[in-house]
Amino acid sequence: MTVLAFDLGAGSGRAIIADIRGDRLEMEEIHRFPNDPVQAGGHFHWDILRLLHELKQGILQAKHKGYSRLGSMAIDSWAVDFGFLDRNGELLGNPYHYRDHQTDGMMERVFSIVPREEIFRRTGIQFMQINTLYHLAAMKERDATALREAETFLMIPDLLRYFLTGEKKCEFTNATTTQVFNPVAKTWDTDLLGRLGIPAHPFTPPVNPGTVIGPLSASVSRELGVSAFPVIAVGEHDTASAVVAVPAEQHDFAYLICGTWSLLGTEVQEPVLSPQALEWNFTNEGGVGGTFRLLKNIMGLWLLQECRHAWVKEGQSYSFADLVSLAEREPAFRALIDPDDPAFLNPEHMPNAIRSYCERTGQNVPDSPGGIVRCIIESLALKYRYVLERTEQLTGKAYSGLHMLGGGIQNKLLCRFTANAIGRPVWAGPVEASSIGNVLVQYMTLGELSGLEEARSLVRRSFPVQTYEPQESAIWDEAFGKFCRLLQPDSV
């Protein structure tokens, strides 16, 4: 049975055709497309109708390859972003990009109404200004028309799925990322919404991953000349899908989903809402199969991507491979940064933001692209250790190594440095983790796989994993001490 998976990232999207053949999962990318945000009217938006167009192109590509009667299809994407429909089911404006500056200063204004501690107790979500809650509060503050006229709230995969099927359904894993969802009651927190003056009626009860939403609408089927195959809600937050694809043999494992963002954590059965989790700003997001993802968002390879973007604009056309090669030639630990410093969220010029941070913290200031990239990769690896050790303290469990998945594992220097930093093996693979997890949940829904254990066994048989063993432990331990003092100068 052939299925179609759409995996939408913050920079690009892809369509994947998948089959289980024998005891292996085989996948083929049939369509790839850019996902470029658009600056308009002083705001940063997603081009949602362009994404819909690209999804249709992916379905057409499947048809041209002979797959006009698919077993199913599904969509996963990044978290927190959303759109509103009016009473006629029409889209109320282009969805805002999570990095839009409308949330600047909004967290503090929300905390003046509902205390930070109470928000965490109600939602279990890490505090970041990109969260849905602060975009909703910003829209309320300026009396945005879209919020006033809203009848239905849908997140990005939900919205695209609605355009294809006509069904208005929210999916659980993505709903939990908004910071307006109660993970214990498993419902939208209407009291929290009400205290902030945000209407609660657009928020419909979410469906679980593995729910068949409905077939392609008759109009879309006619337009594309394909059968009305079922559309399934998978783990529609791409991290939820990626965690399904962790090729772990044991029940207790730590993972790092590595891309534009880095997401490091573990799979738990219940949300961890302790004061320590609040103090350390961890998050509890819904997972597949009744699980939760206790994790922390780390800024990730956005730092490197934005540096490259700045250098290309200045006429220095480095490839990512070029930048990694330059970094390898630089001296170790000349300067370190906290990747999650607010200065790096969306600066005008990332290299200058990194130099300014180093100057502000009394360190050597990197003066070359190679030096800046070395600083980024070393700092990410050390932040991974910092978060991994805190994850162990929150769960009371020790992890023998770290599973790294996602596109970032193609940066072998980052994988090697991560193993060195954590002092344990790193198991890198698979790369297309979100797409694989998307496909696996479709097969679980269709009865081809019995659950997560069988799905992960299939991943182990189907995709290579590269092991990185730790080296230079004493040097990295010393660097970690320096890094901790940078993060906690008054307490370390």
Strand-strand pairing, 82-85 and 72-76: unpaired
Amino acid letter, 459: V
Instruction: Give me the phi and psi of 278, to 5 degrees please.
Output: -65, -45
Residue 41's contacts (CB-CB under 8 Å, 6 or more residues apart) are none
With 0-12 / 13-18 / 19 or more C-beta atoms within 10 angstroms meaning exposed / middle / buried, residue 488 is exposed
Of 270, 284, 276, whose CA–CA distance to 390 is shortest? 276
Distance CA 203, CA 197 (A): 14
CA distance 304 to 333: 17
Q: Return d(Cα 30, Cα 415) in angstroms, integer.
A: 28
Contacts of 348 (CB under 8 A, 6+ apart): none
Which one is catalytic: 47, 189, 238, 338?
238
Instruction: Mention every residue, 6+ apart, whose C-beta is less than 8 A from residue 482.
Output: 333, 336
DSSP one-letter code for 143: T
User: Is 238 known to be catalytic?
Assistant: yes
- Separation CA 164–CA 216 (nearest Å): 6
Residue 100 gets the label, from left (phi > 0), alpha (psi -120 to 50) or beta, of beta
Q: What's the token pair of residue 251?
A: 């029940």
Q: How far apart are alpha carbons 368 and 79 in whole angstroms? A: 34
- 452 φ/ψ angles, rounded to the nearest 5 degrees: -65, -40
| Residues forming beta bridges with residue 16, ordered by sequence position | 5, 29
Q: How far apart are CA 146 and CA 137, in angstroms?
A: 13
H or E segment at 261? none
Residues 6+ apart with CB under 8 A from 483: 336, 379, 382, 383, 386
> Do residues 415 and 466 touch, judged by C-beta distance below 8 A?
yes
d(CA 299, CA 341): 9
**Residue 483: C-alpha distances to residues 422, 439, 476, 492 (Å):** 13, 39, 10, 10
Rg from Cα positions in the chain:
22
Query: What are the angstrom distances between the C-alpha of 174 and each of 154, 281, 482?
Result: 10, 19, 36
**Cα dihedral value 59, 60, 63, 68, nearest 10:** 50
Catalytic residues: 238
